[in-house]
Amino acid sequence: MTFLIRQTLIYAVPLMLVALAGVFAERSGIINLALEGIMIFGAFMGVLFVNAVQEAGGFAGAKADGNWLALQGFALLAMLAAAAAGAAFSLLLSFASVNLRADQTIGGTALNLMAPALVLFLIRIIANQNVLNMAKGDAAPWFMLRKTYFGYGRTDSMGFWGETFVNQTYPATYVCILLFIVLSVILYKTRFGLRLRSCGENPQAADSLGINVYKMRYAGTTISGALAGMGGFVYALTTANCSANGDVAGFGFLALAVMIFGNWKPLNIAGAALLFGLFKCVAASYTSIDINGDGICMLEAIGVSAHVYRMMPYVITLVVLAFTSKKSRAPKAEGIPYDKGQR
Amino acid sequence: MKEKWSALMEKDGAKSVAASLLSILIGLLVGCVIVTISGLSSAALGPGAVWDGIRLVLGGILSTGRDAAGGLTFGFNPANVGNMLFRATPLILTGLSVAVAFKTGLFNIGAPGQYLMGAAATLVTALSVPTASVPAPAVWLLAFLAGILAGALWGAIPGLLKALLNINEVLACIMTNWIAANLVTWIFDGSIWRNMEENGKTGYVYKTARNGVETAKWGLDAIFPGSQVNWGIIIAIALAAAVYILMTKTTMGYELVSCGSNRHAARYAGINDRRNIVLSMAIAGALAGAAAALYYLSGNTEFYWSTYQALPAVGFNGIPVALLAASNPIAIIFTGCFMSMLNIAGQQLTNLTGFNEYITDVVIAAIVYLSAFSLLIKMMLSGRKKHRVPAADGGPAADAGKEKGGGEA
């Protein structure tokens, strides 16, 4: 069970965060199809930050001393760098769709094309290959928690809770969960959140009450970009050994599916992300690993292909779309450029 | 002179051409700026490399390599031009696919999925039907039709969802894209069509030439020696002409375009809007399937079957091809060639300089970004001050905007 929960969380948490990124943009009235692109860009900038700091000799002392708290600070800084990069990249989308009233779908597609191209172009020049790795060491010894940090011996057990949620986990995962909760509260329980959401439902009414729709849409998309950028880096850190290769394996689109399946509501999104994360985890590991008798090999014995689990999230989302299209909670004004003069 | 100019700019077609040229120009400029910045800030490159890079980004199609002194040489390079035409084949067809949907007010972002399904159907047919008992040209035709059919079926799914349940076709297409990516991997994973003979080719399907099935070259190899070009490009151009005739000269095309201009008005006029939406997406899918069929039936192209982590770029690149051509099927022939020309330039850049081919994807992305507000550029060109963006002619913005979200998920 330990392995399954740990792995599912690793896949589910970036999904959750990026789906919330989609919610922030859509609630403010902007369709953010560029989640995938922003994730790719954020992942690249985060890895580049780690790489550059390591090259400059930063945190080498902390690593040598085994000062894991300092190393976690390093990871947090990299997450912030990725978030800043994602926010900056998303400005391209907000500028086109708010100021120029461009087609948001095409704008998002442009960003999705731009990110891998730009990132691969730069990676090839920086690293002379198609992947940018950490300058020193691997992700696990630098950023993963070990039971030895807490005074346990290598062979000691931390018990079920400790083994599952502390040993061999990335604290970045928990930072993301915390962020998810805080931002969900902000979106639904604060004045700012209410104003932001009103711009996605009826911007004309919001404007008549003195809310600056343009500013709100910029805010929504920028928060969205920051979250997606951070999610991209966390994905690269936890599943790709902190490396960037201009690809997040369609996670941005999967996050879009999570958002739709979660009906644009945070709690449902968390549930949807866990479900889809479980599918990902099962698909990724069921042929090769049977750790702690998690029963994943049993799934293989049933004879269902791993491809089915990979396909499932998209099929489920399509079915959900088909059945809930009438009572969807999608923001009413999403995708429509705001025009002050329109009635 | 000035009056003539402004009279010309009043015409919508001329404005579209000017807007596209401007987008291309800015896109290339963005590419050059990025080459300059990255070149000057990299220790391995330098001003000389930047100058080479910029010349290749702009004129890579004419590149003939380097001379003895190490300087770039330029001239007519038949291999480059032939390869440009070969790579333009699928781009023209995915461009047509996106354009047909645009004309009906739909945004076909599902071209990658339709392309993949077409590729799978084509390859399975071309490799399975024994050429010992069935003549190779017949197998070729069968495989081509299989690709078209698979693409059409895959395109019809989002069309049906849109027509019957009013589900946003963009979301449906994104889902069907990834379902296709996984399905195709599943079809080939563990199958007999995987290339097990050549080392290092484990991720690929056999070339169709293994079964003796390949597109005829009929003289094109004499004109462009050393290139991959074949009669696929002629078929693509013929299909573009056919789409042009369909959309402008037939009742069916008229109904499709009417639905794109105003779905509700079209229904009021007695046009079955639902049927037309499904039809439009099926035609779009068929064209994307044809793109894959022609590309992989050339005989010496290989299909990387483990696609579940990435969608084929050629599907997405149909979007800029269609946008630059303002969805005009004849113009798509030229914009498709332009896109593949960039592609060749990128290849030359990788071969001859320290830069790499991804810069051309940056240029393409910049062009798509600019196309998103091509209406604004058009308005600026015509010099009119207008407060409202007019309904797009053939663009998806109009339809997506007007439906007010309401029932759409």
Q: What is the DSSP string of A45-63?
A: HHHHHHHHHHHTTTTHHHH
Contact between A329 and A27 under an 8 Å Cβ cutoff? The reply is: no
Domain-embedded: residue B213: yes
Q: How many residues does chain B have?
A: 409
d(CA B73, CA B96): 35
pLDDT at residue A299 is higher than 70: no
| Alpha carbon distances (Å) from B166 to A55, A136, B161 | 53, 52, 6
Binary contact (B178, A96; C-beta < 8 A): no
d(CA B188, CA B304): 10
Q: What is the pLDDT of residue B397?
A: 40
Binary contact (A110, B372; C-beta < 8 A): yes
Cα A153 to chain centroid, rounded? 34
| A117 → closest Cβ in B177, B361, B392 | B361
Identify the domain containing residue B239 by its residue range. Answer: 92-339
Residues of B in contact with A253 (CB under 8 A): 174, 177-178
Residues of A in contact with B404 (CB under 8 A): 332-333, 336
Structure letter (DSSP) for residue B189: T
Q: Would you state the structure tokens that stand for residue A143, as one six-digit string?
A: 């950023």
Closest listed residue to residue B14, CA positions, set B330, B243, B373, B326: B326
Binary contact (A113, B161; C-beta < 8 A): no
d(CA B267, CA B190): 49
d(CA B301, CA B291): 13
Q: What is the pLDDT of residue B154?
A: 97
Domain-embedded: residue B225: yes
Contact between B9 and B18 under an 8 Å Cβ cutoff? The reply is: yes
Cα B389 to chain centroid, rounded? 27
Binary contact (A124, B310; C-beta < 8 A): no
Q: Would you state the structure tokens that stand for residue A139, as one six-digit string?
A: 């992700």
| Alpha carbon distances (Å) from A320 to A78, A174, B175, B277 | 36, 29, 12, 21
Q: What is the pLDDT of residue B2?
A: 58
Q: What is the pLDDT of residue B172?
A: 93
Domain-embedded: residue B173: yes
Contact between B3 and B375 under an 8 Å Cβ cutoff? The reply is: no
pTM of the model: 0.88
Q: What's the mean pLDDT when you consider all of chain A?
A: 87
Question: Per-residue pLDDT tens for A68-124?
Answer: 888 999 999 999 999 999 999 999 999 998 988 888 888 999 999 999 999 999 998
Question: Per-residue pLDDT tens for A226-267?
Answer: 999 999 999 999 988 899 988 888 889 999 989 988 888 899
Q: What is the pLDDT of residue B294?
A: 95
- Which residue is it, tokens 């792995």? A7
Top pLDDT among A288 and B164 is at B164
Binary contact (A114, B178; C-beta < 8 A): no
Binary contact (A318, B359; C-beta < 8 A): no
Would you call B286 an interface residue with chain A, using a CB distance cutoff of 8 Å? no
A202: amino acid identity, one letter:
N
Ranges of residues in chain B whose predicted pLDDT is under 70: 1-10, 375, 379, 382-409
Residue B120: which CATH number?
A: 1.10.3470
Question: Per-residue pLDDT tens for A19-74?
Answer: 999 999 999 999 999 999 999 999 999 999 999 999 988 888 888 887 888 899 99
What does the longest C-alpha to C-alpha distance in chain B come to? 71
Q: What is the DSSP string of A62-121?
A: HHHHT-HHHHHHHHHHHHHHHHHHHHHHHHHHHIIIIIS---HHHHHHHHHHHHHHHHHH
Q: What is the pLDDT of residue B392?
A: 41
Q: What is the pLDDT of residue B4?
A: 66
Binary contact (A341, B387; C-beta < 8 A): yes
Domain layout of chain A by residue ranges? 2-147+161-248
Residue burial B355-389, b: 16+ Cβ < 10 Å; e: rest: bbbbbbbbbbbbbbbbbbbbbbbbbeebeeeeeeb
Contact between B398 and B392 under an 8 Å Cβ cutoff? The reply is: yes
Domain-embedded: residue B406: no
Q: What is the pLDDT of residue A35?
A: 95
d(CA B171, CA B162): 10
- Which residue is it, tokens 């293989």? A300
d(CA B261, CA B256): 9
Binary contact (A321, B171; C-beta < 8 A): yes
Q: Would you state the structure tokens that stand for residue B172, as one six-digit string?
A: 């449906």
For B220, the 3-state DSSP assignment is helix
Contact between B123 and B205 under an 8 Å Cβ cutoff? The reply is: yes
End-to-end CA distance of chain B: 52
Residue of B33, B319, B358, B363 best to disrupt the A interface, most CBs of A under 10 A? B358
Residues of A in contact with B308 (CB under 8 A): 307, 310
In this prediction the ipTM stands at: 0.87
Q: What is the pLDDT of residue B394?
A: 40
Residues of A in contact with B182 (CB under 8 A): 307, 310-311, 314
Contact between B355 and A125 under an 8 Å Cβ cutoff? The reply is: yes
Mean pLDDT, rounded, for A314-325: 85
Q: What is the pLDDT of residue B10?
A: 64
Q: What is the pLDDT of residue B406?
A: 35
Residue of B107, B369, B379, B380 best to disrupt the A interface, most CBs of A under 10 A? B369
Helix axes of A306-324 and B136-165: crossing angle, nearest 10 degrees: 40
Total count of domains within chain B:
1
Any alpha helices (H) in B297-357, and if so which ranges? 313-324, 329-352
| Alpha carbon distances (Å) from A120 to A193, B60, B309 | 37, 20, 16
Question: Per-residue pLDDT tens for A155-168?
Answer: 778 888 888 888 88
Q: Would you state the structure tokens that stand for residue B8, as one six-digit string?
A: 């010309």
- Taking one residue from A and the other from B, the number of pairs with CB-CB distance under 8 angstroms is 188
Q: What is the pLDDT of residue A296?
A: 56
